């Protein structure tokens, strides 16, 4: 006889809370196809659909509505039990900086899991544009941080690499506008510098019509058809299209997501957080690697 496993319930909960299979898959670190198979298996076990598919997302059916509080209760109790069994006496204070972009959801879950495993560690988390994090580490304002750079230093602990590219709404052709409407970050960072440098080399008039402190803000302006902007490829949606050299836009640099910590002190909380972050990014077996 089939049974409802906690794994199926967690996948169901992730999709239900995200409102889509794609975003739910990202929350449980699985592919969209793997999550779809799990949802299908769950529906086979209960004998009815738990989601209605519509457009780009899903909504709960009556059966899904009944299952939702059960899934939350079961996973909450399992997490609490695991926390009690595995928590340790690691203590101290940890000041962590995480970037305000698409990686934030993954890092937020890492922070939550760390807090469960190390409840005596006092966490102070800063979520912001990461351009200022290296200086904050150097000054001692942060103990550990994840930030993006164009050119990592030799031996840098690189977690992830992502190509940046110019994007425009599929539904609004802004290439004929003169000057070009551009969306940029409103703080000094290498993405802004790279964008302005590329625009200058194009020799085409442009004007900055939208500024934002976050990736989500710039992406929203591009999707709305207000402006053209520079984003990482992970921000690509079906409503956006990449601008190619034949459109007059050159290839842009790779962004490197780097893990850094205070140079003067490697406390047990810092070491534990580094391990948790690197494991989540699939780098648990390495100490560091040379950046490209």
What pLDDT, on the 0 to 100 scale, is given for residue 287? 33
Q: Does 17 have pLDDT greater than 80?
A: yes
Percent of the chain with pLDDT over 70: 92
Q: Does 54 have pLDDT greater than 90?
A: no
What pLDDT, on the 0 to 100 scale, is given for residue 26? 83
Q: Does 94 have pLDDT greater than 60?
A: yes
Write down which residue in 37, 54, 86 finishes a domain.
86
Domain span holding position 150 = 92-160+256-280
User: pTM of this prediction?
Assistant: 0.62
* Residue 137 binned pLDDT confidence (cut-offs 50, 70, 90): very high
* Residue 284 binned pLDDT confidence (cut-offs 50, 70, 90): very low
> pLDDT by residue (tens digit) across 196-206?
999 999 888 99
Do 249 and 171 fall within a single domain? yes
- The torsion angles phi and psi of 13, rounded to 5 degrees, stand at -65, -40
Percent of the chain with pLDDT over 90: 39
Do 238 and 262 fall within a single domain? no
Do 170 and 236 fall within a single domain? yes
Q: Does 291 have pLDDT greater than 60?
A: no
Q: What is the mean pLDDT of residues 180-187?
A: 88
Asked if residue 274 lies in contact with residue 259, where contact means CB atoms within 8 angstroms, the answer is: yes
Rounded Cα distance, 243 and 233, in Å = 12
CATH code for position 59: 1.10.10.10
Instruction: Establish if 208 belongs to a structural domain.
Output: yes
Q: What is the mean pLDDT of residues 132-149?
A: 91
Q: How many domains does the chain have?
A: 3
Residue given tokens 């150097």 in the structure block: 138
Do 123 and 179 fall within a single domain? no
> pLDDT by residue (tens digit) across 187-228?
767 888 899 999 999 888 999 999 887 788 899 999 999 999
Q: How many CB atoms lie within 10 A of CB 70?
A: 13
Instruction: Establish if 287 belongs to a structural domain.
Output: no
């Amino acid at each position: 006889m089939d049974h409802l496993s906690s794994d199926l319930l967690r996948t169901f909960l992730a999709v239900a809370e995200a409102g889509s299979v794609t975003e739910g898959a990202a929350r449980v670190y699985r592919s969209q196809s793997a999550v779809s198979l799990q949802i299908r298996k769950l529906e086979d076990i209960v004998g009815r659909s738990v989601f209605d598919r519509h457009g780009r997302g899903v909504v709960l059916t009556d059966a899904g509505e009944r299952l939702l509080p059960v899934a939350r209760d079961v996973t909450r109790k399992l997490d609490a039990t695991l926390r009690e069994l595995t928590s340790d006496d690691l203590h101290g204070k940890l000041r962590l900086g995480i970037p305000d972009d698409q990686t934030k959801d993954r890092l937020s879950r890492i922070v939550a899991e760390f807090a469960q495993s190390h409840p005596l560690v006092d966490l102070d988390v800063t979520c912001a544009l990461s351009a200022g994090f290296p200086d904050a580490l150097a000054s001692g304002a942060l103990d550990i941080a994840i930030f993006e750079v164009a050119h990592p230093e030799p031996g840098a602990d690189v977690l992830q690499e992502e190509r940046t590219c110019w994007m425009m709404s599929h539904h609004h052709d802004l290439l004929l506008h003169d000057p070009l409407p551009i969306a940029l970050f409103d703080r000094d960072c290498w993405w802004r510098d790279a964008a302005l440098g590329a625009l200058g080399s194009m020799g085409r008039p442009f004007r900055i019509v939208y500024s934002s402190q976050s990736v989500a803000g710039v992406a929203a302006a591009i999707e709305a058809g207000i402006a053209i902007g520079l984003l990482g490829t992970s921000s690509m949606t079906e409503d956006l299209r990449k601008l190619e050299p034949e459109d007059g836009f050159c290839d842009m640099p790779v962004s490197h997501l780097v893990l850094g910590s205070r140079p003067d002190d490697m406390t047990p909380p810092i070491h534990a957080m580094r391990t948790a972050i690197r494991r989540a990014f699939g780098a648990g077996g390495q100490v560091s690697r040379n950046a490209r």
